[in-house]
Amino acid sequence: MNNFSKRFAVPLGILVFGGWSIRILQSILQGEDEKFMVAIVIAMVCFAFGISLNPFRKKKQTWLKKVIVSFVLLFFLLWNLGYLVLPQLKIIMNLLAIEGFIIYLIYVFCGWTFFD
């Protein structure tokens, strides 16, 4: 794969495919199933987009960093789906303004960090 496709075509393809996937899921599913599946697909697309932003991966990987990134991703996915509801944590998240779009950016950051 050449440098152009690594840097531009793959991330753009992920965004286009992710957008189509979300649109199809929204037209097929209804109710709670739609909310659940769309949230998971959004997390996967953002994570994959973050991975594609770092095409020049280092060969030396640490497993601890991958485990931490995976737990952070899982935490924010469960938080976004509403399965983690702790009043004290909600106050902290509101204070830090971590909601909606910021959670999607965290998904992208987790993908970028996973192979950095």
Q: What is the mean pLDDT of the chain?
A: 88
Task: Say if residue 75's pLDDT is above 90.
Answer: yes
Task: Give the pLDDT confidence of 62-73 residue by residue, as tens digits.
Answer: 888 899 999 999
* pLDDT value of residue 4: 76
pLDDT score of 1: 61
Q: What is the pLDDT of residues 21-37, one digit of tens each?
A: 999 999 999 888 899 99
**What pLDDT sits at residue 48?**
94
Cβ-based burial of 1 (10 A; exposed 0-12, middle 13-18, buried ≥19): exposed
Percentage above 70 pLDDT, the chain: 94
Alpha-carbon span 18 to 75, nearest angstrom: 22
Residue 59 — very low, low, confident or very high, per pLDDT cuts 50/70/90? low
Where exactly are the structural domains of the chain? 3-114
Record the pTM: 0.86
